């Protein structure tokens, strides 16, 4: 009898997890997805956060930093959705931030799913949903 009671609860839990995942993906900007437990851009390239981005809505990565860590571009007319916010960069372009953390790709990731930037200088980390 206990097993039968547990089965519906497992089904409810799984349904709840699936519903949360669907709600989250619905709020993601076009082209952003979850791959292997991390956030990725439209090409499947891993997205990263930068520990020096300490001010919400601001990126500390500029100049040579952006050559190695290109910003996840947002359209000029992008609007906030859920945990996603377009931020204005000092050069006038827009960049996506997730939970107030600006997002970047890494120039040494050469194929979808690469995570070569994770832990780089102990200040770069894969972005997780």
Pairing verdict, β 101-102 and 124-126:
unpaired
Q: In whole angstroms, how far apart are CA 39 and each of 16, 107, 109, 114?
A: 21, 16, 14, 12
Computed over every residue of the chain, the mean pLDDT equals 86
Asked if residue 50 has pLDDT above 60, the reply is: yes
* Helix ranges restricted to H, 35-84: 64-68
Mean pLDDT to the nearest integer, 82-105: 96
Angstrom distance (rounded) from CA 57 to CA 103? 11
Distance of CA 83 to the CA centre of its chain: 10
- Determine the average pLDDT of the residues in 32-53: 97
pLDDT at 40: 98
Angle at 117 between CA 21 and CA 122, to 5 degrees: 100
pLDDT tops 90 at residue 122: yes
The predicted model gives 77-101 an average pLDDT of 96
d(CA 113, CA 58): 27
Model pLDDT, residue 26: 55
């Amino acid at each position: 009898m206990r097993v039968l009671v547990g089965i519906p609860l497992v089904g409810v839990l799984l349904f709840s997890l699936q519903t949360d995942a669907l709600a989250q993906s619905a709020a993601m900007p076009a082209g952003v997805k979850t791959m292997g437990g991390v956030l990725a851009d439209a090409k499947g390239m891993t997205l990263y956060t930068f520990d020096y981005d300490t001010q919400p809505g601001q990126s500390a990565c500029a100049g040579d930093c952006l050559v190695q860590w290109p910003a996840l571009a947002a359209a000029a007319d992008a609007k906030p959705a859920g945990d996603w916010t377009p931020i204005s960069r000092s050069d006038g372009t827009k960049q996506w931030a997730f939970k107030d953390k600006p997002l970047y790709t890494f120039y040494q990731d050469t194929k979808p799913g690469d995570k070569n930037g994770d832990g780089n200088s102990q200040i770069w980390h894969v972005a997780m949903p």
